[in-house]
Amino acid sequence: MNSIRNSIALLLMCVYTMGSAQNTDQVKKKGPEDTYARSSMSYLLLDFENEPYADYLRRAINTTSVPSKFDNNNLSKKIIKAPYFHSNTTTGKAEKIRRALIAENYAIDVIKYWWNIKDDGSYSPSLIQKRGMYNASDFDVEKVDATTVGRAKLGDAGLNLIGNSYVLVLDYEGIKTMKEIYDAQDAAARETAKKNKTEFVPVKRVKNGFTGKVTTYLFKMNYSDTVQGYFDYAFVDDKSIDLQKLNQVFDKVYTPLKLITTESDPVDGTQANPGEFLAPTVQKSEDQLMVKLVNDGIQKSINSIENRIEAFRVKTPVTNVNPIRAKIGTKESLTHERRYFVWQYTEKNDGNVIAKKKGVIRAKKVVNNKQDELGNTRESSFYQIGGGKITEGMTLQERKDLGIGVSAGYGGAGLMLRGDINAGQWVNAPIRQFKLYIEGGIGSKEYDNVVIPTTINPTFLGDEKFHLGKLSIGILKEYPFARGNFHFGWFVGWTGETVTWDENESNPNYNADRSDEKLTASGVNWGAKLGMNLFTPSAQLAVTFNNHNYGKVTYAAGLEGVEDVELDEKWSDIFPDRSAFSVDLSLRINF
């Protein structure tokens, strides 16, 4: 008994020392913390047992998995009875959930899981030691290897991770099948058709499965030094714990669980119907689609939480440059093209330590470090997309983005709007700055001596304003340089262009019914671009050089019963003042 108490006393001193140092840092530092410890998480489903599809949800929660950047507190309890009803409760839900968790002794269950405490009071610290070792960095190993205690101390540090335990409570509501949604749309359309005495057209049923909404409540264990002190008195000897005393360890603190944040998102567990575009060869069952919906809600919630909660952002030092490298990988849920900020900590004359952002980087090569030998962790590599010089010892901090860019500018077709998506980021592939884009443009311009030589309108001459519309899709590859503050790129794709005009009444072939007269052409487009960051990689100015090779032009007369005519002339023959080459200037905002 004395040995276990002495060991715990030593652990408490370590925890107190680390906690005090951390508090000092929080007072002094202005900016993100430069330390990172793994958090653990468990999921709890609120059970609205009398609602439709509650059985599906209860089965689905058992198939969920915690992302690898978190330790999995895989408690057997995954469902808790909802402490309110959806129909009559709009406020105070979080507090009702917190009280329900306390009534269920959920925080005690988390402690039991960490210490592997059995119903007879026996326990094992093996999980704590394992997680302490797994959380350790190579820098931690270097420090303890110089001590007489050695690496065993790393396992003891796992005690400090208990306070990083979170529970994500899931409230799914408004769940409907796609059949129910389509039936409701058909009923509304049928009623409208009856009222207007028009023909009823049923909605096209392209999907099956479930949709709904999830509200998540993130709670954190209030595992302070005070709680650990009371927990110390629960030990009977080095083999067992007094369960009655264990159940009282939170009695002297404000609450065992603290609400951190709430998130609400739409959720989707659908698939395309057989015969529809992208329909799976083998259709998922309803249970499988409900699993998809539940996991969709969890992933969306965690993504939102990671963007706002400091503790959920991975942080680690830069270990090498040329290329930039750091000792993180799949163990920390690192994926290709994941964005990180790089911070430098500087102490001012008054003793305050401030954090200055030095650069922005993306993951280029991701290593699988889940099984790496302790003290010999491999490095993932990164490339820079903005900022200044990055040196060893600076701190990387995870800052997720969507990998989506929206550009607006002016060019050959007039006003243009372009959207692009970072393909490597979305499919987690080692493809640096490879993007898919879609672009639209509109404009008006006067052309002289425009001739459309067709049998429908053989001598149409125009010297008026023509209206241009353009749509392009393709691939874009960019190469950052000068520490990522500039980039060069090339693109290739397909472009379609349409020209319309106002009918000239002085034209001998004038026809007032010719309202949809137009010219269309399409073909391959290609070009290059040169851009620069405007103080941040999130805003970029770019000049783009475009070229295209359109095929034959199609003329639509805009008259009922008159077929379109494919002309022998090309675009440049009809618009001699128009060049295939153009330049546009645009501003891109990256999200």
**Top mean-pLDDT range of 4-8, 326-330, 509-513:** 326-330
CATH architecture, domain 404-590: Beta Barrel (2.40)
Lowest mean pLDDT of 123-132, 145-154, 203-212, 467-476, name the range.
Answer: 145-154
Average pLDDT, the chain: 84
Q: Which of 162, 169, 211 is nearest to 64 (CA)?
A: 169
What tokens does 75 get?
Answer: 């408690």
Q: Is the pLDDT of residue 141 over 70?
A: no
- Overall size of the chain counted in residues: 591
Contact criterion met (CB below 8 Å) for 408 and 587: yes
Per-residue pLDDT at 372: 76
Per-residue pLDDT at 157: 63
Give every CB contact of residue 157 below 8 A, 6+ residues apart in sequence: 14, 18, 132, 135, 136, 140
Judging by beta carbons within 10 Å of its beta carbon (0-12, 13-18, 19+), is residue 334 exposed, middle or buried?
buried
Judging by beta carbons within 10 Å of its beta carbon (0-12, 13-18, 19+), is residue 128 exposed, middle or buried?
buried
Lowest mean pLDDT of 28-42, 387-401, 440-454, name the range.
Answer: 28-42
The alpha carbon torsion through 90, 96, 101, 102 (nearest 10 deg) reads 170
Rounded distance, CA 69 to CA 332, Å? 4
Q: What is the arithmetic mean of pLDDT over 376-402?
A: 92
- Kindly indicate the confidence band of residue 11, based on its pLDDT and cuts at 50, 70 and 90: very low
Q: Is the pLDDT of residue 203 over 90?
A: yes
- pLDDT > 70 fraction of the chain, expressed in percent and rounded: 84
Q: Where are the domains of the chain?
A: 2-19+38-308, 314-398, 404-590
**Top mean-pLDDT range of 132-136, 332-336, 350-354:** 332-336
Q: Is the pLDDT of residue 588 over 90?
A: yes
Per-residue pLDDT at 507: 54
Rounded distance, CA 367 to CA 378, Å? 7
Helices 106-115 and 126-135: crossing angle in degrees, nearest 10, is 80
Q: Is the pLDDT of residue 151 over 80?
A: no
Q: What is the arithmetic mean of pLDDT over 406-410?
A: 94
Q: What is the arithmetic mean of pLDDT over 159-169?
A: 90
Q: Is the pLDDT of residue 408 over 80?
A: yes
Q: Is the pLDDT of residue 178 over 60?
A: yes
Contact criterion met (CB below 8 Å) for 215 and 300: no
- Kindly indicate the confidence band of residue 177, based on its pLDDT and cuts at 50, 70 and 90: very high
Please provide the CATH number assigned to the domain covering 314-398.
2.40.10
Is pTM beyond 0.85 here? no
**Top mean-pLDDT range of 5-14, 84-93, 258-267, 458-467:** 258-267
Q: Which of 440, 458, 581, 432 is nearest to 497 (CA)?
A: 440
How far is residue 379 from each of residues 331, 363, 372, measured CA to CA in Å?
12, 11, 10
Rounded distance, CA 228 to CA 97, Å? 24
**Top mean-pLDDT range of 24-38, 198-212, 447-461:** 198-212
Per-residue pLDDT at 18: 34
Lowest mean pLDDT of 4-8, 78-82, 418-422, 429-433, name the range.
Answer: 4-8
Question: How does pLDDT run across 361-381, given as a tens digit for each residue?
Answer: 999 999 998 887 767 789 999
Q: In the 8-state DSSP scheme, what is residue 273? A: P
